[in-house]
Homo-oligomer: A and B are copies of this chain.
Amino acid sequence: MKNLKTTQDIARQVTEIGRRARSASHELMGLGPEQKNKILNFMADSLEKLREQIRAENLIDLEEAKEKGLTDAMVDRLDLNEERLNSMIQGVRDIAALPDPVGRVLKSWKKENGLEFNKTSVPIGVIGMIYESRPNVTADAAALCLKASNAIILRGGSEALRSNRAIADAMLEGGREAGLPAYALQLIPVRSRDAVTNLITMDQYVDLIIPRGGEGLIRAVAENATVPVLKHYKGVCHVFVDRNADLSKALEITINAKCQRPGVCNAAETLLVDQSIANDWLPVVAGALRERHVELRGCDKSTGIVPDMNRATEEDWYTEYLDLILSVKIVDGIEEAVDHINRYGSGHSDAVVTEDPEHQDYFGKRVDSAAVYINASTRFTDGAEFGMGAEIGISTDRLHARGPVALEELTTYKYVVTGQGQIKE
């Protein structure tokens, strides 16, 4: 452990990290795809070579976590066992194998005056990653950011500092051998929360903050940051079963969206049912969900049809249960369903089940969410299911990136304009 540091020392140290990251980000612009992939593969080799040391540091973190009385769930997240180490290392190799997201010509055109415009993808610059206890995020986030030619500053959970440092050191050792610019990957080596405050207010050196963790962490970061923050607040996802739904699809989609993995952001939290089918179908779906131990909380009309449901309160409609609980509302048609979703939803993932093409179109156009599903489960919102390869998170923001954030979303663009001496008249 380092000595305790003053707030000022920490501010100076973090500022220096930022300054160096900015300078490294300019170096990174000069690396071609082959060199970046070589760097990533050397990093994976080095993680492999140093796995015993990484595990040894991780065991000290685990020991300390148990002594401090962290919950079993937190200790489990911290545990970098053999299988997780393997999959972390393979993850770095998989990212190396993905197509390069930088230097794509997004659009090009020529004007009558002979100027040629190329809108080209470029790195964002310097990305600050703030995350909680899982140490594998250190390797995932670093590999994704570097593949998109961004410099990265990592700030993991203080309980995982030794594990994170061992992972970052191993990646640096491998990376340097393959030509990684100095300071392209840095980890903030102090436990104090002051370091986070410094990191998220360093506009001059940091271009984007990505926090990964609970809603509390993300709100705290967003409220105090002056650097832009890519936020993932919550997933209050809906399944709407329309009057023209194929009811067997509706049943399967509802069960899948709620039960297949209830603790994740793209699981459904509210079921909306068109009133014209509610009398017949609601008892069916309620029975199937109960068999799967789902607690139902219904609106007045729903509890009229299925009397042994709990009553939903206004707050239920806003709630991300992350659990085997589902709120249920009967609506008088697709308009009310869409209004409900746009009002109470979190703009994450929402599904309609309907065979009516006009209703499919209406729902697709009107629901204001990152991912809108027509006759499919909300559970598909993630980078791998979208075919983007690895993802660094899912955005519930509206600007820059919505939904899964993968390599392309870790880039921005610039215009390269080529002329033959043109001047403005």
Contacts and interface: CB of A to CB of B under 8 A. Distances in A.
Contacts of A124: 398-399
A111 B418 contact: no
A256 B125 contact: no
A78 interface: no
A269 to B, nearest CB: 16
A257 B423 CA distance: 8
Contact of A377 (B29, B360, B423): B423
B208 A385 contact: no
A413 B385 CA distance: 18
Nearest to A226: B223
Contacts of A386: 117, 415
Nearest to A364: B416
A422 B353 CA distance: 11
B418 A413 contact: no
Contact of A115 (B364, B368, B380, B418): B380
A312 B250 CA distance: 72
Interface in A6-62: 25-26, 29-30
B400 A370 contact: no
A66 interface: no
A195 interface: no
Given A30-B366, A417-B380, A423 B253 contact: yes
A402 B176 CA distance: 32
Interface of A: 25-26, 29-30, 103, 109, 111, 115, 117, 122, 124-125, 207-208, 222-223, 226, 228, 246, 248-249, 252-253, 255-257, 260-261, 338-339, 342, 360, 364-366, 368-377, 379-380, 385-387, 397-400, 402-403, 412-424
A374 B417 contact: yes
Report which residue of A124, A338, A418 has the largest number of chain B beta carbons within 10 angstroms of its beta carbon.
A418
Contacts of A376: 115, 417-423
A423 B375 contact: no
A219 to B, nearest CB: 11
Contacts of A413: 402
B109 A423 contact: no
A281 B252 CA distance: 76
Given A399-B412, A423-B253, A424-B256, A374 B418 contact: yes
A422 B29 contact: no
Given A402-B413, A415-B372, A422 B207 contact: no
Contacts of A400: 399-400
B228 A399 contact: yes
Contact of A424 (B103, B208, B377): B377
A204 B111 CA distance: 41
A82 to B, nearest CB: 26
Contacts of A387: 109, 111, 117
Contacts of A422: 375-377, 380
Contacts of A403: 414-415
A212 to B, nearest CB: 18
Nearest to A123: B368
Report which residue of A117, A342, A380 has the largest number of chain B beta carbons within 10 angstroms of its beta carbon.
A380
Nearest to A375: B419
Nearest to A421: B249
A228 B228 contact: yes
A75 to B, nearest CB: 28
Q: Which 4 A-B pairs have the closest CB atoms?
A: A376-B419, A256-B423, A249-B421, A379-B424
B377 A414 contact: no
A380 B256 contact: no
Contacts of A416: 364, 372, 374
